[in-house]
């Protein structure tokens, strides 16, 4: 059941892409024999293309979805564990033993900072192989090796490398902590992913605080290009955002969050 849900989540990532919608509409228009329908489909395609490539509109929606910034330097609170969620690897080169990081590696950077600032006693990295064909490798184990290679002291590091999604991040971390007497937790993940992560951990009995990393929405910009010029990067971010919001709602419906 869990694996079927995992496969469906990967399919949804494909289906919820605005680029796929545009491509499908253009194909429909190409093979449509009715001139009026063809024209309507082309107009709809252009509108969707412009809306989902507009960086200003994207920023406003992301700003609504992402949680506010957290300033830990102004807090005296201390945690037993800082839990860093995986999803920061794009690939692993087995021949050269090299990790290809994506922008979500900020999760790890912020987790290390919290640990080094003595805001938490230990760090848990939670992440397994999230690829469909299991060709990526167990992320938690690979990240531990990477940190060892660069001289990071891993004595305060715990690894959970079996989870494939956020639900499993929460359940497996809860299992890891079930025999601990104390487990005050702060979760570090991307700002757009905080809502789903915190809800999943709460469902497992872990009422955690959070620290948002990898923020997509920054300061509002009113430059001409940001307001009006289509940007291909915006479409990719829209796909991530739509997938995340949909994932949050689906998790609520199936009882994961």
120-149 pLDDT tens trace: 999 999 999 877 667 788 999 999 999 999
pLDDT of residue 14: 67
Q: How confident is residue 42, by pLDDT bands cut at 50, 70 and 90?
A: very high
Q: What is the maximum span of the chain, computed from C-alpha positions, in angstroms? A: 70
How wide is the angle at C-alpha 134 spanned by C-alphas 128 and 137, nearest 5°?
50
pLDDT of residue 178: 87
Torsion angle, alpha carbons of 252, 60, 87, 255, to 10 = 0
The closest alpha carbon to 80, from 120, 126, 123, 125, belongs to 120
Q: How confident is residue 74, by pLDDT bands cut at 50, 70 and 90?
A: confident
Sign of the C-alpha dihedral computed for residues 213, 218, 219 and 220 taken in this order: negative
Q: Give φ, ψ of 209 to 5 degrees.
A: -80, 175
pLDDT tens for 179-190 read 777 679 999 999
Percent of the chain predicted with pLDDT > 70: 93
CATH class (in words) of the domain with range 72-213: alpha beta
Of residues 76 and 173, more confidently modeled = 173
Torsion angle, alpha carbons of 91, 215, 217, 65, to 10 = 100
**Which tokens in the block code for residue 151?**
């001289």
Average pLDDT, the chain: 91
Residue 8 has pLDDT above 70, yes or no: no
3-state secondary structure the chain: CHHHHHHHHHHHHHHCCHHHHHHHHHHHHHHCCCHHHHHHHHHHHHHHHHHCCCHHHHHHHHHHHCCCCCCHHHCCCCEEEEEEECCCEEEEECCCCEEEECHHHHHHHHHHHHHHCCCEEEEEEECCCCCCCCCCCCHHHHHHHHHHHCCCCHHHEEEECCCCCHHHHHHHHHHHHCCCCCCCEEEEEEHHHHHHHHHHHHHCCCCCEEEEECCCCCCCCCCHHHHHCCCHHHHHHHHHHHHHHHHHHHHHHHCCC
pLDDT of residue 16: 77
Q: How confident is residue 1, by pLDDT bands cut at 50, 70 and 90?
A: low
Q: How confident is residue 255, by pLDDT bands cut at 50, 70 and 90?
A: very high
Total-model pTM: 0.90
Q: How far apart are CA 208 and CA 148, in angstroms?
A: 28
Strand pairing class (89-93; 98-101): antiparallel
Q: What is the mean pLDDT of residues 70-80?
A: 89
Residue 9 has pLDDT above 80, yes or no: no
How wide is the angle at C-alpha 52 spanned by C-alphas 62 and 14, nearest 5°?
90
Sign of the C-alpha dihedral computed for residues 30, 33, 35 and 40 taken in this order: negative
pLDDT of residue 7: 57
Half-sphere exposure of 243 (CA within 13 A, CB side): 18
Q: How far apart are CA 216 and CA 180, in angstroms?
A: 35
List every span in the chain annotated with CATH 3.40.50.620: 72-213
């Amino acid at each position: 059941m869990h694996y079927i849900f995992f496969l469906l989540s990967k399919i949804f990532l494909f289906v919820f892409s605005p680029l796929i919608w545009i491509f499908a509409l253009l194909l429909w228009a190409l093979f449509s024999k009715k001139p009026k329908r063809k024209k309507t489909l082309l107009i709809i395609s252009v509108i969707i293309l412009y809306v989902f490539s507009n960086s200003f509109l994207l920023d406003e929606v992301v700003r609504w979805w992402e949680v506010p910034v957290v300033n830990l330097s102004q807090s005296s609170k201390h945690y037993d564990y800082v839990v860093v969620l995986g999803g920061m690897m794009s690939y692993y080169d087995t021949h050269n033993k090299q990790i290809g990081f994506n922008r979500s590696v900020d999760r790890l950077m912020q987790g290390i900072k919290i640990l080094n600032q003595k805001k938490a006693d230990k760090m848990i990295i939670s992440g397994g192989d999230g690829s469909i064909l299991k060709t990526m490798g167990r992320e938690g184990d690979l990240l531990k090796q990477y940190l060892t290679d660069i001289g990071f002291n891993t004595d305060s590091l715990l690894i959970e490398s079996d989870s494939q999604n956020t639900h499993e991040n929460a359940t497996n971390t809860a299992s890891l902590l079930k025999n601990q007497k104390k487990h005050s937790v702060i979760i570090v993940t991307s700002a757009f992913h905080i809502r789903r992560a915190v809800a999943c951990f709460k469902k497992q009995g872990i009422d955690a605080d959070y620290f948002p990393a990898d923020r997509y929405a920054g300061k509002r910009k009113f430059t001409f290009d940001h307001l009006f010029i289509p940007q291909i990067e915006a479409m990719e971010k829209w796909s991530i955002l739509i997938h995340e919001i949909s994932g949050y709602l689906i998790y609520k419906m199936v009882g994961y969050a």
